[in-house]
Structure 1
Amino acid sequence: MLLLPDFLNIIYKKEGESMKNVKVLLASLAGSIIEWYDFYLYGTATGIVFATLFFPSEDPTISVLIAFATFGAGYAARPLGSIIFGHMGDRIGRKASLMLTLIGMGGSSFLIGLLPTYAQVGLVAPIALVLLRLLQGIALGGEWGGAVLLATESATKGVRGFFGSIPQLGVPIGLVLGTFSFTLISSLTTEAQFMSWGWRIPFLFSAVLVVLAIWIRSSIEETPEFRRKKEQGEIVKVPIINAFKYHKKDIFRLIGLKLGDGFFNVFLMSFILFYATTFLGYSRDVALLGLTLSCATMIISIPLTGYLSDFIGRKTIYIGGVVALIVLAIPYFTMIGQSTTMFYIMQVLLLGVVWSAIFATQGTFFSELFPANVRYTGLGLGYQVAAAIVGFGPMLWTEMGAKFGPSPIIFGGFMIVGLVLSLVLAIFSPDTRKITQYSDQHNGHTEFEENGQRDAKKA
């Protein structure tokens, strides 16, 4: 068992690597925060602003459906981003790819803040909004995998799980920043002012955050794993072809593993704002506070779970988290409508504790399935295909809510179906803490990495 003093010694004292480790973790986290701030900022604005200003309709439900379709479009674009930036990351390097994803995400978010509304320019407004949302999705499709690899491929032996959990903190921190910015602006403006110009401020602020993140990332080196592959001449010409030729099984395994918790995650972190205000009758402030509390809890639970995964194992924690979500799915939908207190408690429990435990392990767990020369592509593509599927959950749930109301059986049952698939696949997945395709810098290459090298030579 890795005790805390040993853990801290590995991170901060081993071979004078303290500042390098801190820089790597800060760089992976900073960019991830900005990317998710921008991505979820759009999700927060979807039901509150965009449905009214960009997709007006006599039927409010139609407006919301169309607005959430554009929200899903960002998810649908993520696989394309994983292929584009995965190719670049596996051919040129992780660092170069990650610099471009930041520019893509920050630039599109800044431009959203400048867009005219439907009332001002007609159809041009929603078309421009959709195009910028697609650019957001493409950028995020390349960001997530790269940020994870920046951390895990720089980790020393025994702390990969912890390192891999750090970029995952970008999700709760980015969402808290996004929702806080909306809440702050909303409290400082009237409803008319907020809908006129106040909502634009958080999007425009993205430019400042992106400049800061680029400055931080520009000071880091390429990851040791990628440098080793490049020096050994094992960079493949077309990573996507190699990944499908030799690692197709793990790509599809990853998609299935992510689907179950992915649907629940989109609900808990995005759709809950619309669900709580429309179907449960809570105010927007109550819904935002519930989401903020659960995300604040994640900031503690994610690195703690990442640390535990280094001696308990990613697979064990993953299975435990999925089982807990299955057990709590129907009780969650039953209890969140009873009172604001129960709403806060269940949000913190399911999102802040249970789902965050699953999410904390995913970056390391999934990346350990692939060799370094196709790792960016394989990891990103599998994860983002699943994200593209679950991103359209809000459209389904809007229809479900309109037809059945906030039915715990309907909504809870929907979540359970996906979770059972993820559970079965997790049970039959390898324990990647023991069987990994990462190279061990102290003991040479693992058997699985050598297999990956042979695959590369064949390609």
Structure 2
Amino acid sequence: MKKSRVLFASVSGSVIEWYDFYLYGTATGLVFSSLFFPNTDPAIALLLAFATFGIGYAARPIGSIIFGHFGDKLGRKASLMLTLVGMGGSSFLIGCLPTYAQIGVAAPLLLVFLRLIQGIALGGEWGGAVLLATEYAPKGLRGLYGSIPQLGVPLGLVLGSFSLTFISYLTTEAQFLAWGWRIPFLFSALLIGLALWIRNGIEETPAFKEQKEKGELAAVPIVETFRTNSKSVFHVIGLKLGDGFFNVFLMSFVLVFATKHLGYSYEVALTALTIGCATMIITIPVVGYLSDFIGRKIIYICGLALLFLLAIPYFTMVGQSPSWLYIMQAVMLGIIWASIFATQGTIFSELFPAKVRYTGLSFGYQIAAAIVGFGPMIWTPMAEKFGPSPIVFGGFMMAGITISLVLSLFVPDTRKISKYEDNVDPVADEKAI
């Protein structure tokens, strides 16, 4: 099977899944806080809305177990098809939901339920998309291949944010709140249909085929994962925590932080986020390719160290002017964090053998995601009490990064020592991409 087709299937589905997930995040501050969580205190309404945002993260470990089980028992492809259906269906239904004014408390309850489904679906998507790429990768290019699905995050975020912003420009504020915000959610049905068609045309990965032919599939993947690879699970959780809090801030809470606490317009905040994501699109494949030559571990450690050193300077500079906000988003999100993220899919997957790779990779990553996803619930009252304090916010980020920095010293250089077998498509004359 052509590698380019596999990579396209991996990243296209990932883009659409993250589009749906981050579309919700963008709509949280703009729409949901007022239409689904009305409260006389705007801060309380915003906090409640961000709680549902965090619930999506909390549900992701559940999805990692469910779809990891399917992925390690039935195949990577089958699991990825199911995650698309779950994400697309829940996003479409969010676009159909009546508001609090129409059906009362049932509205936020239904919203929370659909957000849970989103989180469960995404909990299985990320690991599967990574494995679809890395388990097809030729020798010596696993880092590059593993970085391609990661492009789904910045592309999906920009697409989700842009869709709401575009609709807001075409409608009045009243029209946007009445029906305009629903259009991007309803559009998910078309996008998911396209992704299902693309993924249906690919074959199962060589690694899973080999495990199945040998009869070496795990009976209960989550049990087998902790029986044989518990250390790797905890390594993944710890390594993700440090950059995870900064990631959630830079790609989500920054919109609230910049507008409410720094006094910027929403257009300025969104432009800064877009600049950071656009930079990521360049950084991720470049760093992924470099990791095949200089190693994943050294890039990871250097990235964490730079995030640590620049944490307080970031929060100091973003409040100086829109230009500094743009620059710091490009540097911290688009270059430094993107460099870490470019290597994560590959390095985490290389810690697990094929029979539990989907489950182990997904569960460890999503447990960390569940923890950091509640960052906005911590930062909202923190900002109300301390304001946009560089010491408070920078110190918070530095504490998390310290955990990951220490753990990164004990993780092997997976470019040299990996639990991947030589499951490479043996078509000798096929190009890598």
AA at the equivalent of 1:302: I
Tell me the equivalent position of 2:243.
Answer: 261
Tell me the equivalent position of 1:415.
Answer: 397
2:277 is equivalent to residue 295 of structure 1: yes
1:233 Cα deviation (Å)? 1.0
Q: Distance in 1 between matches of 2:113 and 2:153?
A: 23
Q: 1:50 aligns with which of 8, 32, 39?
A: 32
Q: Distance in 2 between matches of 1:209 and 1:441?
A: 31
Percent identity of the aligned residues?
A: 71
AA at the equivalent of 2:48: I
Give a deviation string over 1:221-255, Cα, whole Å, max 9, x none.
00000001111111011010110011111101110
2:132 is equivalent to residue 156 of structure 1: no
Structure 2 counterparts to residues 161-176 of structure 1, below 5 A: 161-176=143-158
Number of residues of Structure 1 aligned to a counterpart in Structure 2: 425
Q: Distance in 1 between matches of 2:196 and 2:88?
A: 11
AA at the equivalent of 1:277: T
Structure 2 counterparts to residues 205-220 of structure 1, below 5 A: 205-220=187-202
2:385 is equivalent to residue 403 of structure 1: yes
Structure 2 counterparts to residues 42-191 of structure 1, below 5 A: 42-191=24-173
- 1:431 counterpart SS class: coil
- 1:412 counterpart SS class: helix
1:147 Cα deviation (Å)? 0.3
Structure 2 counterparts to residues 386-397 of structure 1, below 5 A: 386-397=368-379
Tell me the equivalent position of 2:14.
Answer: 32
Tell me the equivalent position of 1:304.
Answer: 286
Q: 2:219 aligns with which of 209, 234, 237?
A: 237
- 2:160 counterpart SS class: helix
2:136, 2:423 within 8 Å by CA — same for their partners in 1? no
- 1:331 counterpart SS class: helix
Tell me the equivalent position of 2:185.
Answer: 203
Q: Distance in 1 between matches of 2:253 and 2:38?
A: 20
Q: Distance in 1 between matches of 2:120 and 2:23?
A: 16
- 2:354 counterpart SS class: coil
Q: 1:339 aligns with which of 291, 315, 321?
A: 321
Q: 1:251 aligns with which of 225, 229, 233?
A: 233
AA at the equivalent of 2:394: G
Q: Distance in 2 between matches of 1:105 and 1:114?
A: 15
Q: Distance in 1 between matches of 2:181 and 2:189?
A: 15
Identify unmatched segments of 5+ residues in structure 2: 427-433
2:414 is equivalent to residue 432 of structure 1: yes
Give a deviation string over 1:2-34, Cα, whole Å, max 9, x none.
xxxxxxxxxxxxxxx6xx101100000011001
2:241, 2:401 within 8 Å by CA — same for their partners in 1? yes
Q: Distance in 1 between matches of 2:51 and 2:175?
A: 26
Identify unmatched segments of 5+ residues in structure 1: 1-16, 445-459
Q: Distance in 2 between matches of 1:107 and 1:22?
A: 28
Give a deviation string over 1:50-102, Cα, whole Å, max 9, x none.
00000000111100110000000000000000000000000000000000000
- 1:436 counterpart SS class: coil
1:441 Cα deviation (Å)? 4.7
1:196 Cα deviation (Å)? 1.0
Q: Distance in 2 between matches of 1:209 and 1:303?
A: 24
1:190 Cα deviation (Å)? 1.1
Normalised by the size of structure 1, how large is the TM-score?
0.92
Q: Distance in 2 between matches of 1:424 and 1:206?
A: 41
2:206, 2:423 within 8 Å by CA — same for their partners in 1? no
AA at the equivalent of 1:189: T
1:182 Cα deviation (Å)? 1.1
Residues 1:231 and 1:294: Cα distance change in structure 2 (over 3 Å): same
1:440 Cα deviation (Å)? 2.1
Q: Distance in 2 between matches of 1:45 and 1:281?
A: 20
2:296 is equivalent to residue 285 of structure 1: no
AA at the equivalent of 1:308: L
Q: Distance in 1 between matches of 2:28 and 2:257?
A: 13
2:22, 2:157 within 8 Å by CA — same for their partners in 1? yes
Q: 1:226 aligns with which of 208, 211, 216?
A: 208
Q: 1:326 aligns with which of 298, 301, 308?
A: 308
Tell me the equivalent position of 1:41.
Answer: 23
AA at the equivalent of 2:109: I
Normalised by the size of structure 2, how large is the TM-score?
0.97
2:343 is equivalent to residue 361 of structure 1: yes
Q: Distance in 1 between matches of 2:210 and 2:132?
A: 14
- Displacement over 6 Å in runs of 4+: none
Tell me the equivalent position of 1:317.
Answer: 299
1:385 Cα deviation (Å)? 0.2
Give a deviation string over 1:328-383, Cα, whole Å, max 9, x none.
10000000011000000000100000000000000000000000000000000000
Q: Distance in 2 between matches of 1:189 and 1:26?
A: 34
